[in-house]
């Protein structure tokens, strides 16, 4: 059961197309996994369409068609399937069992990143960074080893994340597959993966995390941040 969802304002931003590219990918993945948010999303789209039909015509931007096609690629139908299929998307994830049963939007993202690979951050954590064509958020998959604990850390900027497989806990709660996670500056936590399986998450972060305590004085300057 999915217990953690984005708030209504964030869902409205996503439905209206005003949310930045990085967080929108996280939202799209959650919406494709969560029947409740998917229903709300379609309701907001219907309301937005009704309001748009009553608005005066506006000139289109030069890249309006490309933006529209990108949005279509992310839109799930009422059963959670994406409107547009892409055989290359499923091929992109076949070689890595960690990417089994991903939301369609993430399969397509991996298809556009054929050189994606895992990097060992520590014995507990692996990161697979992907390119998204924007310069504000670092967008990555994170795999936390079962039973592993990350260092306690704060956030220098907003973090949007969705749990894809497995689960983790912190002092805010327990997060399982499909759960949406938002953290902002001042929200200090220490994620701990459950013992039964690795935890796979997908995230967009606006700034690197800041490890708390004395160790942070040494490690924080070394934490990379590569938006794109």
pLDDT in tens, 41-92: 999 988 755 444 555 666 766 765 566 566 556 555 555 554 444 444 445 4
d(CA 180, CA 194): 17
Position 89 scores a pLDDT of 46
Give the class (CATH, top level) of 8-222.
mainly beta
The model's pTM is: 0.82
pLDDT in tens, 98-132: 898 999 999 999 999 988 899 999 999 999 999 99
Output the average pLDDT for the chain: 85
Quick check: 165 pLDDT over 90? yes
- Candidates 17, 41, 35, 14; CA nearest to 160 is 14
d(CA 6, CA 108): 23
Quick check: 223 pLDDT over 50? yes
Contacts for 212 with CB less than 8 Å, ≥ 6 apart:
151, 152, 153, 154, 188
pLDDT in tens, 174-191: 999 999 999 999 999 999
Domain edges within the chain:
8-222
């Amino acid at each position: 059961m999915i217990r953690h969802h984005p708030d209504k304002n964030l869902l409205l931003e996503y439905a209206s197309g005003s949310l930045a590219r990085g967080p929108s990918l996280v939202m799209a993945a959650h919406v494709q996994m969560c029947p409740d948010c998917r229903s709300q999303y379609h309701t907001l789209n219907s309301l937005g369409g009704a309001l748009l039909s009553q608005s005066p015509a506006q000139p289109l931007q030069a890249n309006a068609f490309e933006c529209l096609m990108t949005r279509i690629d992310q839109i799930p139908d009422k059963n959670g399937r994406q409107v547009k299929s892409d055989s290359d998307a499923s091929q992109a994830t076949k070689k890595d069992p960690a990417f089994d049963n991903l939301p369609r939007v993430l399969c397509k993202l991996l298809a556009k990143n054929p050189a994606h690979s895992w990097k060992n951050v520590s014995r507990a954590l692996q990161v697979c960074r992907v390119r998204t064509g924007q310069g504000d958020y670092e967008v990555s998959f994170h795999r936390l080893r079962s039973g592993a604990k990350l260092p306690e850390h704060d956030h220098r900027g907003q973090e949007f994340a969705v749990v894809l497989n497995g689960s983790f806990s912190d002092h805010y709660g327990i997060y399982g597959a499909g759960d949406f996670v938002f953290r902002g500056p001042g929200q200090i936590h220490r994620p701990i993966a459950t013992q039964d399986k690795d935890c796979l998450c997908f995230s967009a972060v606006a700034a690197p995390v800041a490890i708390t305590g004395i160790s942070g004085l040494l490690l924080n300057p070394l934490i990379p941040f590569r938006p794109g």
